[in-house]
């Protein structure tokens, strides 16, 4: 007979790993399913300076610390991608992309978010040939080159700061009139002397032959098109929650985030919880995602006690 888990956690970022630590310590029979550890921490281009108690630490090192903490717990881990979650007669069935099936009494969705695409001509052709969604993965390939970062929020400025240590020149293109990045990171970027920030720049297309050669944007003030010669484009315009596998069991807000009760992290389906960047709790931060993962695991445990 196939075993039934008390809790299956979908996702291996800060929310999912914290939920795993909490559920194992409450002796729930737990399975964590994730393709890789760390979630968006693995895409962090600069050091993480705001996870309390750890000062200044790279995303890579923080992931290792979470992983080793999680591995001290009694918990099953499956490296896989979830394709579909169904609920039938009070039990959740989780189907993976390679057609394995797992059953559980409760589920925590902590699948995070994927980078939001540009949706302009040229984007798809040049992915991996000049267009990247991950500075920490691909940045060093552009040493000595000219690049653009699309997006003037924290992520865009962090990307520019990281790139500035080895690229020649960086444009930050922001579609809006205002820069959203926090003051501290703006100051650091300015000090590099390598970054030109262009606001009200609406990216129109990416051009090139085999690799990216230029980007065309509309200057929204003058309504004129302008072209920048460059070799790389890093996309940092936010993310979209990873929820395709669970559409029927939850409700979404206008940002496609799963709506939860912010006190318990329960979704509209009893026994189904969500935590971290995938849900509608505002302010996407590692320590906030951790707090939510802990809440969701405690809520799952209380739900199980009442069964």
Interface contacts to a copy of itself, rule CB under 8 A: 14, 17-18, 21-22, 25-27, 49-56, 62, 65-66, 68-69, 72, 182-184, 262-264, 281-283, 285, 287-295, 298
Rounded Cα distance between 273 and 75, Å, is 18
Q: Which of 106/132 has CB closer to a copy of itself? A: 106
Q: Which of 96/154 has CB closer to a copy of itself? A: 154
Q: Which of 41/242 has CB closer to a copy of itself? A: 41
Q: Which of 66/142 has CB closer to a copy of itself? A: 66
83: its two tokens: 């394709």
Q: Which of 124/182 has CB closer to a copy of itself? A: 182
CB of 234 to a copy of itself, least distance (A): 23
Q: Which of 73/103 has CB closer to a copy of itself? A: 73
CB of 283 to a copy of itself, least distance (A): 5
Q: Which of 16/115 has CB closer to a copy of itself? A: 16
Q: Which of 206/289 has CB closer to a copy of itself? A: 289
Helix, coil or strand: residue 134: coil
Element containing residue 96 per DSSP (H, E): strand 91-96
Rounded Cα distance between 280 and 270, Å, is 17
CB of 303 to a copy of itself, least distance (A): 13
What is the secondary structure of the chain as a DSSP string? Answer: ---EEEEEEE--SHHHHHHHHHHHHTT--EEEEESSSSGGGGG--S-B--STTS-SB-HHHHHHHHHHHHHTS--EEEE--EEEEEEETTEEEEEETT--EEEEEEEEE---EEEPP--STTTTTTBTTTEES-HHHHGGGGTTSEEEEE--SHHHHHHHHHHTTT-SEEEEE-SSSS--S-HHHHHHHHHHS-EEEE-SEEEEEEEESSSEEEEEEEETTTTEEEEEE-SEEEE-S-EEE--GGGGGG--B-TTSPBP--TTT-B-SSTTEEE-GGGBS-SS--HHHHHHHHHHHHHHHHHHHHH-
CB of 172 to a copy of itself, least distance (A): 19
CB of 223 to a copy of itself, least distance (A): 29
CB of 24 to a copy of itself, least distance (A): 9
Query: Do residues 163 and 146 lie in contact, with contact meaning Cβ atoms separated by under 8 Å?
Result: no
CB of 261 to a copy of itself, least distance (A): 8
């Amino acid at each position: 007979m196939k075993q039934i888990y008390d809790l299956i956690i979908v996702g291996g970022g800060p929310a999912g790993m914290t939920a795993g630590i909490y559920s194992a310590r409450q002796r729930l029979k737990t399975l964590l399913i994730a393709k890789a550890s760390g979630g968006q921490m693995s895409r962090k281009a600069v050091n993480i300076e705001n996870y309390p108690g750890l000062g200044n630490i790279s995303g890579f090192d923080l992931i290792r610390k979470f992983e080793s903490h999680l591995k001290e717990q009694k918990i099953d881990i499956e490296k896989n991608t979830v394709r579909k979650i169904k609920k039938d007669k009070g039990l959740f069935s989780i189907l993976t992309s390679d057609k394995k099936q797992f059953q559980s009494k409760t589920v925590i969705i902590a699948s995070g978010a994927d980078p939001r695409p540009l949706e302009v001509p040229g984007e798809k052709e040049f992915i991996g040939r000049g267009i990247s969604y991950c500075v920490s993965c691909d940045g060093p390939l552009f040493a000595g080159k000219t690049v653009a970062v699309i997006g003037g929020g924290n992520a865009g400025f962090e990307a520019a700061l990281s790139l500035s240590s080895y690229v020649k020149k960086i444009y930050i293109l922001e579609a809006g009139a205002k820069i959203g990045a926090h003051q501290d990171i703006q100051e650091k970027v300015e000090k590099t002397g390598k970054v030109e920030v262009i606001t009200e720049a609406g990216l129109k297309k990416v051009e090139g032959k085999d690799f990216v050669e230029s980007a065309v944007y509309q200057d929204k003030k003058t309504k004129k098109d302008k072209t920048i010669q460059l070799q790389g484009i890093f996309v940092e315009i936010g993310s979209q929650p990873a929820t395709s596998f669970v559409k029927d069991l939850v409700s979404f807000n206008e940002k496609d985030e799963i709506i939860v009760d912010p006190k318990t992290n329960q979704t509209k389906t009893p026994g189904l919880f969500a935590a971290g960047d995938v849900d509608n709790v505002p302010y996407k931060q590692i320590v906030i995602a951790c707090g939510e993962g802990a809440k969701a695991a405690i809520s799952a445990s209380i739900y199980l006690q009442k069964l």
